[in-house]
């Protein structure tokens, strides 16, 4: 399946029909802004202790997609997903809004506990019931991108 397209693949009814992004070349070739650094402390160690979280890995087609699009485009996708699906105070279908497959960012969200507001509260101490600040959205995207970076190093 083309990673730029989604179809209904799970029992939760999560689906996209057609292109995920209007302009797939958006961000291609851009440099990733690495001036903002986050201290993830022991987050990745704690995640590795969870059988569920540590079971997620990028498959070869995900790695190929990241290589093809580049990290700047993947970051833009992550920013968009976080803004639309996670940042609202009460996201639609909270707890089920992130598909289990179909895009490297979705895999990273589950692997890092950034998939729903409940997991954000449990793993990152970001309370549910209020919208995410821009700083919190940046942190979440940073976590997702760090996980993807680590996965790409292993590939």
Per-residue tens of pLDDT for the chain, all 155 residues: 344 433 333 333 333 333 444 444 444 444 445 556 778 889 999 999 999 999 999 999 999 999 999 999 999 999 999 999 999 999 999 999 999 999 999 999 999 999 999 999 999 999 999 999 999 999 999 999 999 999 999 98
CA 13 to chain centre: 19
Compute the half-sphere exposure of residue 132: CA atoms within 13 Å on the CB side of its CA.
27
Q: With CA atoms as reference, report the closest residue to 145 among 82, 75, 91.
A: 75
């Amino acid at each position: 399946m083309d990673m730029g397209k989604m179809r209904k693949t799970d029992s939760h009814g999560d689906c996209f029909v057609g292109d995920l992004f209007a302009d797939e070349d958006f961000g291609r070739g851009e440099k990733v802004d690495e001036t903002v650094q986050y201290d993830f402390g022991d987050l990745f160690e704690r995640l590795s202790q969870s059988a569920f979280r540590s079971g997620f890995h990028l498959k070869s087609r995900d790695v190929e997609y990241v290589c093809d699009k580049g990290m700047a485009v993947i970051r833009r996708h992550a920013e968009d997903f976080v803004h639309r699906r996670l940042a609202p105070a009460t996201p639609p279908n909270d707890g089920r809004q992130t598909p289990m497959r179909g895009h490297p960012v979705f895999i990273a969200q589950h692997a890092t506990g950034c998939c729903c507001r409940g997991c954000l509260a449990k793993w990152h101490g970001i309370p549910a019931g209020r919208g995410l600040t821009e700083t919190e959205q940046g942190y979440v995207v940073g976590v997702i991108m760090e996980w993807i970076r680590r996965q790409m190093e292993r590939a």
